[in-house]
Amino acid sequence: MSAKVIIRAALAAACVTTLLFTPRASHAQTPGQNLLKNPGFDWPAQTNGDVCAPGWEKGNAITPKDWTPFWACKTGDERNQDRVNRPPEFRVMTVDIAADRVRSYPTSGSFFTFWALNQSMGLYQMVNNVTPGTKLRFSAWANLLTTDSDELPLNSSRAPGGLQARACIHTTGNVVLNPNFNDPAIVCGAWIRPYDTWGEMWVEATAAFGQVAVIIDTTAEYPVKHNDVHVDDASLVVVGQGGAAAAVAPAAVSAPQPQAQAQAAPANDALPRVAVKTPTANVRAAPSYTGQIIASAPQGMSFAVKAYTSDKEWWQIEYSGGQGGVAYIHNSVVDMNAAAQRALTGGAAVSAPASAAPAAAAAPPAAAQTVAGAAAQVIVSTGGDRLNIRSAANAAASIVGRVANGASLEVKGISPDKAWWRITYPGTADGTAWVMAQWVTPNAAAKQLAGL
């Protein structure tokens, strides 16, 4: 019998329990105080409405009290794709069902898809009476199971589906049914993948108004049999004042590493800098879309730049969490200040004025210069919609996945009519798939590969 059958049988009666108490209201005034209601995802449970059909109750959306479920709804062209953005099921996990999926006795929050994936599913909680301008830290622990196998004991070592989780804060609390992750008021930490173990995800942000929302967001790459999420021990605490932008959580599951702090570009534009212009941007360990993601930077975060790749696709930035104090960010997700623009277009490098730093300070970053080249890549350029990934180079071919606007894909070649790019895609038998050329932008290496 599968784990999900056991869960359904064990919780069928328990999850309709009557609410027995009302937790006290949270007040974001005292540093160290947990501002969340029911941070341990404990009983009693609550049933919830269908976010894709407002006004209707969803019987299998049963969550710990004070936590609201959300999930991505099917678009028009997905209605005939049963395994893509299928609504997940939500439950309360207990130690007698799966003790290893509960971090603190006796329960955890649990949600999953079965032979499917949902591209954004999770839980959120509204927190009121927050002092505007307060800097908050939201954290929660996640335990992920992702596999195509029912072999016991269930674990993620066999054909995982690329499940991952992150913590987010909506700094204005404006969440209606589903969080809009294109909203610049949402600040998210790094994606983590704690498979069959517990890993902490966290993020820091500053409250804009008297209400915020904390969000646990997950996504998966492939519609495997089990994409199961378990969450426990959440916390929202005051950590200080000021700073409109967030500190970014590292991608590692272990203790937080040093991280870059958001800061404005110098008023005199003397040093080359870039600032994130998209809601979030990946900071990578190498100038490639296959480079390890070491952080997710929120919109507005500014970085000093040290170099750029020979194809001018990647900036080398100062980042304390990267090896040697540097990391890489793609040019498509940032805005440049005047000094960076001059460096990129071959203008004269501008040094920092003598008064910009004390005499004992380290030398300012060098003006941008060329470094190692980048792999052949295309960037999804749909203007906002997700792009279909197909099994063959034609519009009638089956859809094997979808990818977000702004994502980058490694390319292996192009169709004879130049209408389709062949991309690296681990979810297929030969490890490749196809995307329409009209919806992507190739870098210089991809153009050279395709003879464009």
Strands (E), 178-224: 186-188, 199-206, 212-219
Task: Quote the pLDDT of residue 298.
Answer: 66
Q: CB 310: neighbour CB atoms within 10 A? A: 14
- Give mean pLDDT in consecutive 10-residue pieces for the chain, a chain of 452 residues: 38 32 35 89 93 83 96 85 89 92 95 92 95 93 93 85 94 88 90 92 91 95 92 94 43 32 41 78 79 72 80 80 79 85 58 31 32 64 77 85 74 89 78 88 83 82
* Residue 336 parent element (H or E): strand 334-336
Closest CA to 260 of 303, 225, 212: 303
Q: Tell me, what's the pLDDT at 27?
A: 35
Q: Are 265 and 338 in contact (CB under 8 A)?
A: no
pLDDT confidence of residue 21: 27
pLDDT of residue 230: 98
Domains of the chain: 3-241 (2.60.120.260), 273-371 (2.30.30.40), 377-450 (2.30.30.40)
Tell me which DSSP letter residue 255 carries.
S
Q: Which residues contact 281 (CB under 8 A, 6 or more apart)?
A: 296, 297, 299, 301, 329, 330, 333, 334
pLDDT of residue 143: 96
End-to-end CA distance of the chain: 54
Q: 161-184 in b/e burial notation, b at 16+ Cβ within 10 A? A: bbbbbbbbbbbbbbbeebbebeee
